Structure 1
Amino acid sequence: MVPSNILKSSKHMRQHIKDKTNLQHFIDISIRLTTEKNSSKLLDEILQVVMSIANSDAGSIYSITPNKQLKFETVINKSLNLYLGGTLGSPVDFPNIDLFIDGKPNETAIVAHSANSGEVINIPDVYDALPFDMSAARKMDARTGYRSESMLTIPLKDHEDDIIGVIQLINVKDAQNKNIPFSEELVTLIRSFASLGAISLTNSTLIKGMEDLFSTFAETIAMAIDEKSPHTGGHCKRVPALTLMLADAVHDINKGPLASFSMSEADRHELDIAGWLHDCGKIATPDHIMEKSTKLETIFDRIKYVDAKFEIISRDLKIAYQQKIICAMKLQKPIEVQQFERLLDTELKQLALDRALLQRVNVGGEFLGDAELEHIERIANKYQLVINDINTPLLSADEVENLTIRRGTLTEAEREVMKRHMDVTKNILDALPFPKHLSNVTEYALGHHEKLDGTGYPRGLTKEQMSVPARLMAITDIFEALSAVDRPYKKAKPVSECLFILGSMVAKNHLDADIFAIFIESQVYKNYINEYANPEQLDEVDFDNLPGYTPIS
């Protein structure tokens, strides 16, 4: 017979080992809380550890859905060799459990009652657990031959004491593998581990909430710009899509100088946010500049005002010549009458030609050469009209300045105002307290107007100072602008012209040649046009003579 003191010592030793094991489990889970980003995996591990500590045969974890239902996240039953949900198990096909029925708390389902009341429910035998509805458990037992007996249900609370989920354990086993009730000591221990599960869910929910909030904020900025300027708003939506297309292509390439570049999902998310925010400063750009679709446009297109002045000049010409013709007729000089009529016809035709020229150049769709500029200056100096007995030039100095813009519709002063949107963008992004995993958003977003030779803005960076995502965003920003079908001041260009312009910028060391080659060879441009622009823009491209393009080797 073994002496009682030896039995007592052996019991203490087993308890010490058990306590040490439980403590180690607790420490391990606590450490993983700070390192594991996958909350589903962590919850799965917590459930298995809790089941191990309790020597429980089965267990489940539920989350609460937005529409107030309990959703099975993980279901484990050792005896039935059942593992559903979690990170490795088969999908859970059990129906959700309503927390409320007809507007009242669901008092019949144990997990629903625990979630609604916040109570820990410890039941020695679920078949005697009135008033709870155990019909589902009985049906499952009848179908599988299993016997659900002891059950422990623990609500999971977040930092604001709100219920965010439920852990449920079934059939705790004794040393002889028989079902026994959950002891109060065991309940206390399991609740401590359950609190770790609640912390995990809370952290996951808070992080996801912040991510969703920030992503929505970025998209809302684009929506605000869209309301201010529909064509620029479309640009803010399309650039992120094209940027990720090209980034994925660079990630997938397995040859050339960028073969080692790779992106995780977190990297893609960071780049996507940068894409949405890259033009956020345009929210401060004056409407009359951002929406300037013609050279003479301010609040309205002043070409109509110029047309009106042409009408006055035309009227004055007709009146002046008609007076001369009448005088000649009175003096019975038919030859002079014919001469005056021919002169009037000639001047009216020239007036119409000059008027047509100004109407054409006002659109800003083509580059103006020196000949056109000189012609505009001649028109400005040639015609005078009288308003309130004051001789007034046909074109004011401001109208001449705008009409003589060589390319586009903006004057140099207006271009400087437009460029300032990058300073505003920088100020906005610098003011945002980005978390570590979004720390590169500012660098990526500000890179789309930089040039590899350091002549870009707002910071004048060189290639060596720019990351790959920032350099590729410069290409996507320009290609989207060139191919866009919703710009009020220009027509969408065919792909061949878009690529030629990009290639010319590559040749001038403004854009990255390696990324440009991937853009072409991966056919990102073609996929983008098919999805976001007009497929009719996809014309033939002479890649052999495309500037800036060298095939990847």
Structure 2
Amino acid sequence: MVPLFIPKSSGNMPQHIKDKINLHHFIDISVRLTTEKDSSKLLDDILQVIMSIANSDAGTIYSITDNKQLKFETVINESLDLYLGGRLGKPVDFPNIDLFIDGKENKTAIVAHAVNSGEVINIPDVYAALPFDMSAARAMDARTGYRTQSMLTIPLKDHADDIIGVIQLINVKDDENNNIPFSEELVTLVRSFASLGAISLTNSALIKDMEELFATFAEAIAMAIDEKSPHTGGHCKRVPALTLMLADAVHLIDKGPLATFKMSDAERHELDIAGWLHDCGKIATPDHVMEKSTKLETIFDRIKFIDAKFEIISRDLKIAYQQKIISAMKKNKPIEVLQFERLLDTELKQLALDRALLQRVNVGGEFLGEEEQTHIQRISTQYQLKINGEKIPLLSDNEVENLMIRRGTLTQGERDIMKRHMDITKNILDILPFPKHLSNVSEYALGHHEKLDGTGYPRGLTKEQMSVPARLMAIADIFEALSAVDRPYKKAKPVSECLHILGSMVNQNHLDADIFAVFIESEVYKHYINEYAKPEQLDEVDLDNLPGYSPIR
């Protein structure tokens, strides 16, 4: 046993000295309630203080489990030199005690009855404590030669008057080391110290609950986004995972400019929360923009509407030429008939080629060339169709604008809408009252669209204005987007292409070169692809010719 050094109370010690010692302990524990982060350590100390002031030989702390059982947290018996559980003791292998048996309150176990009734139970001799079941205590005594006699059981109540645990003391001693009952005066004193134990448990539970609530809230936002956009929801789940992978790698690197970067568990948790919240503003992004898989997609893909207009034009062409052919046949002009048939065939073939061009362009490749843009402009002015006697062009101005998109599927206006998710994210994070230990969440989360040269958004920060976690999240965010296998508007890229794009952004002073080097040399990208993407994406990477990469020295 490794006990806390606390002088034992003594019957021949002057009362004013004992009172001074007890007051000192009370003040010390009260102060530590506001500073000690380890509730297990504090509870151990409180138990040992209570045992000291009561001159008790043994003590136990129980917690209450979610399935209504009492769990042994710390067990101390000085005569048996026993110290189980707590912050230093061996694991407690005693079975949990049921609070209810067959749906009824367990009234045979003293600690269970104390919890169910909320009463302090003071027993001078447990062997005579009917109707409580003391068979376990008797069996333990038989094995160890110990004699369990006086027992004090105090339920611990939180601020809502709910019982959250139990402190139990055994065998208070007199000056001759004989077991004696707990006096009422002693019970009152012990209860005052036990209340501090209740405060410690309550504080620990409240902090844990708040942490779980906030972490779950962050994940719930990702779930909500997942409901409206599965691929974006997947992105919100994968970025935190990749961010922590990369952060751990940077934490472990022992050379180069980042060798001094270290993260505590609390800082790692803070970064994880930031990862979950980094795109929370997308919950307000319109579905038809976020899910736009083709250039002409709105609520539906308008290429089908254009196909229908091509069908009308094709039908009108055929009707017009058929009338000319019939007229030529009536005039017995076979040569004109052949000419009209050839012209019709030529125009229909061109119509089919133009239709196929728009279908292909609509998919949204990596880049739309000048020649294709010229063809789109020609098509928009060349074809007309008549509806209700009114001639309208094949393509509207909006359809032309969308088809002319050079890269991807979004117009500039739609890109601005997408970018606005960062403003919404910032607004959400700004109104959240983050506690001190989560004060960096906003800075980390908002950094993934910033660029080292200050041309990013939403705040236009430079490298010097950004923390290492914020800069590494930018790399994680982009790599996830490039390698994602669930995007409706593009195919997943092989790793070599993803890294080449990242390296090019490093050369443009958009991404951090030192973090990129760790990303490469720690092979974080390989671990991530194997776990979250498709292993076949892991093609050969030529590190000697990879832009933006320099080996860590």
Band of TM-score, shorter chain: over 0.9
1:503-514 residue pairs with structure 2 within 5 A?
503-514=503-514
Give the 3-state SS of the residue equivalent to 1:169 in structure 2.
strand
CA distance in 2, matches of 1:188, 1:40: 24
Matched, 1:235 2:238: no
Q: Partner of 1:428 in structure 2?
A: 428
- Alignment-derived partner of residue 88 in structure 2: 88
1:175 is aligned to: 175
Following superposition, the deviation at residue 11 of structure 1 comes to 8.3
Deviations along 1:288-314, one digit per CA (max 9) or x if unpaired, are 111111110111100001111111111
State the SS of the aligned residue for 1:62: strand
Q: Assess if the C-alpha contact under 8 Å between 2:12 and 2:175 holds in 1.
A: no
Q: Residues of 1 paired with 2:11 and 2:358: CA distance?
A: 102
Q: Distance in 2 between matches of 1:382 and 1:505?
A: 41
Q: Deviations over 1:127-147 (max 9, x none)?
A: 111111101100111122211
In the aligned structure 2, how far is the partner of 1:248 from the partner of 1:344? 67
Q: Deviations over 1:258-305 (max 9, x none)?
A: 111111111111111111111111111111111111110111100001
- Counterpart of 1:454 in structure 2 is 454
Alpha-carbon separation, structure 2, partners of 1:126 and 1:486: 66
Report the Cα distance in structure 2 between the residues aligned to 1:517 and 1:382, rounded to whole angstroms: 53
Does the 8 Å CA contact 2:516/2:549 hold for their aligned counterparts? yes
Alignment of 1:243-282 (within 5 A): 243-282=243-282
Q: What is aligned with 1:549?
A: 549
Q: Measure the CA separation in 1 of the matches of 2:334 and 2:536.
A: 60
Per the alignment, residue 6 of structure 1 pairs with: none
8 Å Cα contact 2:11-2:175 kept in structure 1? no
> Helix, strand or coil for the counterpart of 1:292?
coil
CA contact (8 A) 2:313 2:385 kept: yes
Instruction: Give, in whole Å, the separation in 2 of the partners of 1:155 and 1:391.
Output: 86
Larger displacement relative to structure 2 (264-273 or 321-330): 321-330
1:475-490 to structure 2, matched below 5 A, reads 475-490=475-490
Distance 2:242 2:522 in 1: 13
Q: Secondary structure at the match of 1:395?
A: coil
Which residue in the other structure is 2:370 paired with? 370
**Where does residue 534 of structure 1 map in the other structure?**
534
Match of 2:342 in 1: 342
1:402-460 CA-partner distances (Å, limit 9, x unpaired): 00001111111111111111111111111111111111111111111111111111111
Deviations 1:325-350 (A, max 9, x none): 33333344333333332222222222
5 Å matches for 1:65-464?
A: 65-464=65-464
- For residues 373 and 88 of structure 1, what CA distance do their matches in structure 2 show? 73
Post-superposition shift, 1:68? 1.4
3-state SS of the aligned residue for 1:90? coil
Q: CA deviation at 1:123?
A: 1.2
Secondary structure in structure 1 of the residue aligned to 2:306: helix
2:83 and 2:351 map into 1 onto residues whose CA distance is 87
Q: CA deviation at 1:539?
A: 0.9
Q: Name the amino acid aligned to 1:415.
A: R
Residue type of the alignment partner of 1:396: S
The one-letter code sitting in structure 2 at the alignment partner of 1:290 is: M
Residue 474 of structure 2 is aligned to residue 474 of structure 1 = yes
**SS at 2:225's partner residue?**
helix
Give per-residue Cα distances to partners, 1:171-194, cap 9 Å, x unaligned: 122222222222222222211111
Q: Structure 2 vs 1, CA of residues 11 and 310 (structure 1 numbering), >3 Å: closer, same or farther? A: closer
Q: Which runs of 5+ in 1 are unaligned?
A: 1-9
Partner Cα separation in structure 1 for residue 137 and residue 21 of structure 2: 32
* Deviation string, structure 1 residues 465-521 (Cα, Å, up to 9, x no partner): 111111111111111111111111111111111111111111101111111111111
In structure 2, list runs of 5 or more residues that go unmatched. Answer: 1-9
1:37 is aligned to 37
SS class of match (1:156): strand
Give the C-alpha shift of residue 150 in structure 1: 1.1
| Displacement of 1:197 | 0.5
Taking the aligned partners of 1:253 and 1:52, their CA distance within structure 2 comes to 48
Q: In the alignment, residue 474 of structure 2 is paired with which amino acid?
A: A
Query: 2:186 is matched by which residue type in structure 1?
Result: L
Deviation of residue 12 (structure 1)? 8.2
| TM-score when normalising by structure 2 | 0.96
Moved more, 16-25 or 514-523: 16-25
| Alpha-carbon shift at residue 551 of structure 1 (Å) | 1.1
Cα offsets for 1:370-401 (capped at 9, x unmatched): 11111111111111222222221111110000
Count of residues in Structure 1 that have an aligned counterpart in Structure 2: 544
* C-alpha distance in 2 between matches for 1:91 and 1:325: 98
Distance 1:363 1:36 in 2: 60
C-alpha separation in 2, matches of 1:173 and 1:255:
60
Q: Which amino acid aligns with 2:511?
A: L
Separation in 2 of the partners of 1:164 and 1:11? 33
Q: Counterpart of 1:4?
A: none
Counterpart CA distance in 2 for 1:292 and 1:349 is 31
Question: Which secondary structure state, in structure 2, belongs to the residue aligned with residue 548 of structure 1?
Answer: coil
In the alignment, the residues of structure 1 paired with residue 544 and residue 238 of structure 2 have an alpha-carbon distance, to the nearest angstrom, of 29
Deviates more, 1:57-66 or 1:16-25: 16-25
Give me the whole-angstrom Cα distance separating, in 1, the residues matched to 2:343 and 2:327: 16
Please tell me the residue identity of whatever aligns with 1:260.
Answer: T
Give yes or no for contact 2:426–2:446 (8 Å, CA) kept in 1. Answer: yes
In the aligned structure 1, how far is the partner of 2:75 from the partner of 2:477?
48
CA distance in 2, matches of 1:193, 1:365: 71
Which stretch shows the higher mean deviation, 467-476 or 334-343?
334-343
* RMSD of aligned Cα (Å): 1.5
Task: Name 1:5's counterpart in structure 2.
Answer: none
Report the identity percentage.
85
Tell me, yes or no, if the aligned pair for 2:479 and 2:502 is still in contact at 8 Å. yes
Structure 1 SS opposite 2:176: coil
Instruction: State how far apart, in whole Å, the 1-side matches of 2:474 and 2:41 are.
Output: 39
| TM-score, scaled to structure 1 | 0.96
Distance, in Å, in 1 between the alignment partners of 2:124 and 2:388 is 104
Q: 1:353, CA displacement in angstroms?
A: 1.2
Amino acid at match of 2:529: I
